[in-house]
Structure 1
Amino acid sequence: MSRWHTLTDMSPFAVAEHPSPTSPEVRADILAAPTFGQHFTDHMTVAQWDSDQGWHDQAIVPQGPLQLHPSTAALHYGQEIFEGLKAYRHDDGSVWMFRPEMNARRFQRSAERLAMPALPVEDFLTSLQLLVDLDRDWVPSPEGEQNLYLRPFMFGTEHLIGVRASHSYTYCVLATPAGAYYSQPLKLWVTPNYSRAAVGGTGAAKCGGNYAASLKAADEAGEHGCGQVLWLDGAEHRWVEECGTMNIMFVTSDGELLTPATNGNILEGVTRDSLLQLAPDHGLRPVERAIEFTEVQRRLLDGTITEVFACGTAAVVTPITGFRTPDGGADLTVADGQVGPLTAAIRQHLLDIQYGRAADQHGWLVKVSD
């Protein structure tokens, strides 16, 4: 019996294969230069929840439109959460996911914050394994950091005009072949006008509203010649929190890998956690604490912050070469404005683990397909 049938037989997910899948020729053209979020694989995962039945109708089905009533709750009250992770093809042709259980547990925390039902970790993992295995021919070769990006999401589906939690939800997973998200280092705009999160808000949840609220600030950054925004806290506009849709890290001259502590406002990134664990392999001490932006300014000027980078599933590790502030002063350049050696090394280390080129000493990889 094949691994596919074993997984199917043990899981609550039914499988309906696409009657007219993408031709190998068309798929090969897409995989020759995969672009993040532009093309999707032949199948998707769906599951339903309601207050009477709990989770039901779990299935892998042909990818296609969802039919929604105009009063669908999420369209009016924003009950929507999502995750992002990747499947990687190794040089021997096998396919692996990176730390999917951490995404599953964060998905549960996001659901709890938005008063949504928790999808069991086992169902989250199985939904990904079955989808990736069925569409494994869509996983690109590892050249150029190509991968299959996975987007699990859930939203309230009750037909509802009224402010309360929905009594029904749809869970879905899409898969899209992707290449590198950022191709160049970034300069950050320290926005004086916008905040990402507030104490008691949804900053630690991965929900669409957080990203919608970030778009205007990203536009503002572009108007000031920067590729992304640096978020400071919403209360005092003083403490470093995140960078665009990514976590931020600083390398110091005394050997620290320094990052803001998670405080309920900051998303607990899978890449962030992974890099903190890899730091000692590169002679760095992982440190999580509150970081005032004036400290960043001072230490960039005196040279005791030597490298800065952003990190996230899509971006992996993206070097930060400078900051632009709204006070009319000179731009702050990180060291010599080039990609730092430790940034490059820790980035390569993470990629080598994900693509099977380095030992996975932490047990992070989950095999999907031979």
Structure 2
Amino acid sequence: MPKDIDWKNLGFSYIKTDKRYISYFKDGKWDEGTLTEDNVLHISEGSTALHYGQQCFEGLKAYRAKDGSINLFRPDQNALRMQKSCERLLMPQVPTEKFIEACKQVVAANEDYLPPYGTGGTLYLRPFVIGVGDNVGVQAADEYIFSIFCTPVGAYFKGGLQPANFIVSEFDRAAPRGTGAAKVGGNYASSLLPGKEAKKREFADAIYLDPASHTKIEEVGAANFFAITKDDRFITPFSPSILPSITKYSLLYLAEHRLGLEVEEGDVYIDQLDDFKEAGACGTAAVITPIGGIQNGEDFHVFYSETEVGPVTKELYDELCGIQFGERQAPEDWIVKVK
């Protein structure tokens, strides 16, 4: 039975669900893993995740499709990205098959928390790997935990598909040759202060420029940036310190193959915003959030509108969500059925 939840007014916050998956790495291998009702982790005080930031995570969603089935959207790509994050932090990789099977188990065990089709809600999955065990020196742990929990969510930014304004931060999100391309907690911890300052000034979040020259847009809060040029090209920043967003690469494909646009990963200079008629932030949590305007120092640049969604952004949003909710034909291997 579906839970008694106000599905249409879900925010993006934690709601405890019935089961979560947990697997332990010890003596050089992962165990089989299991589902548990316990939402509290029991770890050593010497865990490297606590002291040295040896941890990474992922985010993906389960969707109740139009035909009643349950979709996972490109979970193999989340598995690959987590493997790269683990490699960067000297943690054991979680095999793709194990990752996807664990996701399926968690969704199936918590199906009653999956928002019904038509509400706009989804079941958000948070896989993570942490270094644990009795450690004290600065070195990789010998033991690890891989776990996945889930929670029903609505829109990440209030209002759903409505333009939001952002402000350019003076802070850097990541170092030029640091961990910006890995989905690790330290990147997000450093964004809390600039994010809080942006919200204090009534912006949705901060925009980060490239750490080397501070001339090019890299990320929008915890999301990737994209823009539509005045001659209908889809462009998104390229940099070794940007997290490779699965949503962004999906939009690159859809913009080219479904909308017929030219696409490009390249430089987006903060002083050349006049080249673009639309812009947006994209990611698993944000999906697509249209950017109404960007505050950069004393300058405020408006794209399509501060109140209305641009037509290309709307078309991309409809195409992406249509695929995720089973309303439109998905490219091959993009959808994995839970049931």
Q: CA deviation at 1:30?
A: 5.8
Task: Return the letter of the residue paired with 2:318.
Answer: Q
User: Is 1:274 the equivalent of 2:250?
Assistant: yes
Between the aligned partners of 2:6 and 2:277, the Cα distance in structure 1 is: 40
Question: Stretches of 4+ moved more than 4 A in 1?
Answer: 30-33
Higher helix share: 1
Which residue of 175, 186, 197 corresponds with 2:164?
186
Distance 1:237 1:170, change over 3 A: same
Which residue of 27, 34, 37 corresponds with 1:59?
34
1:319-330 → structure 2 map (5 Å cutoff)? 319-326=290-297, 328-329=298-299
Task: Return the letter of the residue paired with 2:302.
Answer: T
Q: CA deviation at 1:191?
A: 1.2
Cα offsets for 1:285-336 (capped at 9, x unmatched):
111112221222xx2xxxx31100110001101000001122x34x111134
Provide structure 2 residue ranges, at least 5 long, that are not aligned to the other structure.
Answer: none
User: Is 1:90 the equivalent of 2:65?
Assistant: yes
Distance 1:231 1:219, change over 3 A: same
Give yes or no for contact 1:187–1:320 (8 Å, CA) kept in 2: yes
Aligned to 2:338: 368
Cα offsets for 1:70-123 (capped at 9, x unmatched):
222211111110000000111222111000000000000000011111111111
Q: CA deviation at 1:64?
A: 2.2
Give the greater-gyration-radius structure (CA): 1
Aligned to 1:310: 281
Between the aligned partners of 1:174 and 1:57, the Cα distance in structure 2 is: 17
Task: Return the letter of the residue paired with 1:29.
Answer: I
Aligned to 1:215: 192
Of structures 1 and 2, the one scoring higher in RCO (CA 8 A, sep 6+) is: 2
Which residue of 120, 125, 132 corresponds with 1:145?
120
SS at match of 1:209: helix
Between the aligned partners of 1:48 and 1:347, the Cα distance in structure 2 is: 38
Give yes or no for contact 1:30–1:39 (8 Å, CA) kept in 2: no
Aligned to 2:177: 200
Give yes or no for contact 1:40–1:177 (8 Å, CA) kept in 2: no
1:71-90 → structure 2 map (5 Å cutoff)? 71-90=46-65
Cα offsets for 1:208-260 (capped at 9, x unmatched):
11111001111121233311111101121112111100000010111100111
Aligned to 2:19: 43
Aligned to 2:272: 295
User: Is 1:34 the equivalent of 2:5?
Assistant: no
Distance 1:186 1:336, change over 3 A: closer
Aligned to 1:255: 232
Q: CA deviation at 1:278?
A: 0.4
SS at match of 1:274: helix
TM-score (norm 1): 0.87
Provide structure 1 residue ranges, at least 5 long, that are not aligned to the other structure.
Answer: 1-23
SS at match of 1:124: helix
Which residue of 139, 143, 151 corresponds with 1:168?
143
Aligned to 2:316: 346
Task: Return the letter of the residue paired with 2:15.
Answer: H
Aligned to 1:355: 325
Task: Return the letter of the residue paired with 2:204.
Answer: G
Aligned to 1:21: none
Task: Return the letter of the residue paired with 1:129.
Answer: K
Between the aligned partners of 2:5 and 2:327, the Cα distance in structure 1 is: 26
Q: CA deviation at 1:33?
A: 4.2
Q: CA deviation at 1:129?
A: 1.1
SS at match of 1:271: helix
SS at match of 1:265: coil
Give yes or no for contact 1:152–1:171 (8 Å, CA) kept in 2: yes
SS at match of 2:338: strand
C-alpha RMSD over aligned residues: 1.6
Aligned to 1:332: 301
Give yes or no for contact 2:280–2:290 (8 Å, CA) kept in 1: yes
Task: Return the letter of the residue paired with 2:127.
Answer: P
Aligned-residue identity in percent = 38
